Structure 1
Amino acid sequence: MEEHGLDDPSLHLVSAFLAMEPSDSLISRARVCGGGLITEQVQEFIWDHCLSKAAGFHAPYLKNFLKKLITEVELEHGSVLDNLYELYAHHMTSIKDNSLVKSDEKVHKKISFLFPDGYSDLQSCPHSRVLVFPLQCSLNILEGDTGCSIWPSSLFLSELILSYPELFSSKSCFEIGSGVGLVGICLAHVKASEVILSDGDLSTLANMKSNLELNHLNVELEMPERNKNLNMVKCMYLPWESASESKLQDVMPDIVLGADVIYDPASLPHLVRVISILLSHAKSYSCRQVASDLAPNSKYGNGELHNKNQRNCEDLADVSAVAGTTINNYGSGDGPKEAPLAYIACVVRNVETFSYFLSLVDQAKLDIVDLTGSLKPASLLPYMHAYNEASIRLLRITCSR
């Protein structure tokens, strides 16, 4: 894959296959590779770079893709490679009934981040400009086991971390509702000083641990004394409704992250309470208490931030100003720490639920700023047709001062 340009449609095709994108998406990319047709040369490429290396791949997925591929070539009156017919026949005899596949069955995907021109100097960008993370996920995001699915906002936060590693490196980072662990893997990649992931579901936590190990990260399931092992990620069982203040105060992160955590109105008061406690206690910073008779200093909207933009910023200070962090402490353990902050990425699926979240944040006397138009990540997942960055809001939350 290193030999292909980052805009090469064949690279996008392989990346989409490894990520188990829908068959229609793969067919569309195959046509781009063949100039509109799925030629024999394109079929040979698919065989060499996808199918022949798919040992252990989810068999029903391969069967459906092969069926779609063969059907499309035949409709074009093209010649289908014998290898494709033979592999499809094998899957036809070995998989009798797709209905027997469990909806919560786990599959292995590989998420490839493709760094475009202008980003090769980032510390997060490998020499090949292709960064691949294997993940074990649930098969169907809509049928249970949602904590083991890859949600759009976790992809967005991962792009954000890899696009702005300077905002997260040497910082203690805590994620609420960590799901498959992709955000934590990206934080470890950019060398956050501490990565703590949490979830309130034990099966999700176990799957997350497996994904961290798949990516060669050491895992701690408890919270012992802090250490400097940058290859260590901590996992915490944290149901929001029963999370004790003393347990959360022991965490004291610089940055709190959350992806698609604004979904259940019943859980939102507990979520806001957790965020409030985490932001009110940092390593050497205490959030000033706001008198109960004062009006909350909550603000919402991108206001003064609208002229700032990701890598169009002239220097790191511009990026830092948009993100709400200070510049003088990056990479240094000396001097006072800036106040902790939270980045919450979400798709607004229900306006009433989102409004309820905003009202709870206001009641908790937290400041909230919409960074959606101001702090945009690079497009590192161009091969994902269904992933729409434009649908995702990025919120920054801090303690009122």
Structure 2
Amino acid sequence: MDLQLPSSDQVMDAAQATLCDTFQRDFLCCRRVGSLLWKELEHQLTLQPSFALSILQKTINHPACQKYPPSLQYRRLFLSELIKKHERTGAEPLDDLYSALAEVLNSEDTAVCYKSYCLPTGDLVTLSENVAIISEGTTGLVTWEAALFLAEWAIENNDIFNNRTILELGSGVGLTGLVICKSCSPKKYTFSDCHQKVLQQLTENIRRNGFLLSEEPSVTRENPKTVLSVTELDWESATEQQLLNLDADVVIASDVVYDPEIVTSFSKVLKKLFHYTRAGTNLQVFVASTIRNPETYRLFQTTLDDTGLRWQVLPDQKRNIFAYDKNCTVQILKLTLKV
């Protein structure tokens, strides 16, 4: 039987489709403009200058961008670069590109932007995030690398979360939890934080992604039986009864030990959770951290030891689902109680 090899046009179409999907994924989550695959795009534009319109359709004109746009500055930088790449081909100008840029330049800037993260299912998690890294006196209004890393790991290890009761400490704007709720079918998921502005934005993000917050099952296509809740939880003052009421089987956290002042209170509340949950010694605890300051990270590990908790570093996940800086060092620790 003769094998029919794909034609050059088919190969080019496949390459363009893959490039479009990559640009869409990276653009919607606001990956740094300079990190996008511009060289690959330039190559495709030399073959077909009008391919720039396909990129425009997958990014600026994508329904998610139209409804929940990335920051004004990000869209402006992106369109400027796209137009520059097209102009280098020497082809006739594309009116749609310049119309899109004019619309962005005439838009009003805001302190809040949206980022949409593509899941393997094709679904999106859309978050309202602050443009500034630190705002309202907290870093909890943006998504950090460890949250994306932990979300990827959760998708790969969804059996840990399936039909379980999950407590997330320091949920921030909700990326990890929403990915788990859409991808891993937990029975119950409790988001927690201690900052009022974070809790408010977190609640809005949960509703924005089609979930309800109530004791009744939230009615969504993906997870019709998952119960979601948001609670204020101060690690310093958390009581035995409060932790018992959370009734967690699995506890997770990401990027919460960046400050030495937080390390002690966080380690203590983890120890309390082992003692004050019905799961007890069967409780599973996973903490993801971006190692920005090795001294702070070593302090965290030492404090865990002193608190009576064992830790082990888990192997990295194999899949790269989300766009973020893969050069940063992120580790996930699995914690158990010393006996």
Fold conserved (TM > 0.5)?
Answer: yes
TM bucket (normalised to shorter chain) is 0.7 to 0.9
Distance 1:282 1:246, change over 3 A: closer
Residue aligning to 1:160:
153
Is structure 2 residue 235 aligned with structure 1 residue 240?
A: yes
Matched to 2:305, the amino acid is D
Output one character per residue of 1:159-189: Cα deviation in whole Å (capped at 9) or x when no partner: 1111111111121111100011122112322
Contact 1:40/1:80 (8 A) holds in 2: no
Residue aligning to 2:317:
376
Matched to 2:266, the amino acid is L
Matched to 2:321, the amino acid is L
Residue aligning to 1:345:
288
Residue aligning to 1:170:
163
Matched to 2:251, the amino acid is V
Residue aligning to 2:66:
55
Distance 1:113 1:225, change over 3 A: closer
Distance 1:74 1:397, change over 3 A: same
Deviation of 1:71 after TM superposition, in Å, equals 2.6
Identity %: 22
2:206 match: secondary structure: helix
Structure richer in helix, relative to its length: 2
1:89 match: secondary structure: helix
Residue aligning to 1:71:
84
Contact 2:42/2:85 (8 A) holds in 1: no
2:133 match: secondary structure: coil
1:388 match: secondary structure: coil
Residue aligning to 1:107:
113
Distance 1:352 1:47, change over 3 A: closer
Contact 2:186/2:226 (8 A) holds in 1: no
Deviation of 1:94 after TM superposition, in Å, equals 4.6
Residue aligning to 1:80:
93
Out of 252, 255, 258, the residue aligned to residue 263 of structure 1 is 258
Output one character per residue of 1:269-328: Cα deviation in whole Å (capped at 9) or x when no partner: 111111111122332x544xxxxxxxxxxxxxxxxxxxxxxxxxxxxxxxxxxxxxxxxx
- How many residues align? The count is 316
Separation (CA, whole Å) in 2 of partners of 1:348 and 1:357:
11
Is structure 2 residue 249 aligned with structure 1 residue 254?
A: yes
Mapping of residues 104-183 of structure 1, within 5 Å: 105-114=111-120, 126=121, 130-141=122-133, 145-183=138-176
Q: CA RMSD in A?
A: 2.9
Matched to 1:353, the amino acid is T
1:180 match: secondary structure: coil
2:331 match: secondary structure: strand
Separation (CA, whole Å) in 2 of partners of 1:391 and 1:280:
31
Residue aligning to 2:8:
none
Mapping of residues 180-195 of structure 1, within 5 Å: 180-189=173-182, 190-195=184-189
Deviation of 1:139 after TM superposition, in Å, equals 1.7
Contact 1:188/1:230 (8 A) holds in 2: no
Separation (CA, whole Å) in 1 of partners of 2:53 and 2:216:
54
Deviation of 1:219 after TM superposition, in Å, equals 1.3
Is structure 2 residue 275 aligned with structure 1 residue 280?
A: yes
2:119 match: secondary structure: strand
Deviation of 1:43 after TM superposition, in Å, equals 1.0
Residue aligning to 2:29:
19
TM-score by length of 2: 0.83
Separation (CA, whole Å) in 1 of partners of 2:326 and 2:332:
13
Is structure 2 residue 140 aligned with structure 1 residue 197?
A: no
Residue aligning to 1:326:
none
Deviation of 1:377 after TM superposition, in Å, equals 4.6
Is structure 2 residue 202 aligned with structure 1 residue 208?
A: yes
Structure 1 regions of 5+ residues with no counterpart? 96-100, 115-125, 288-338
Q: Which runs of 4+ in 1 moved over 6 A?
A: 3-7, 224-229
Structure 2 regions of 5+ residues with no counterpart? 1-12
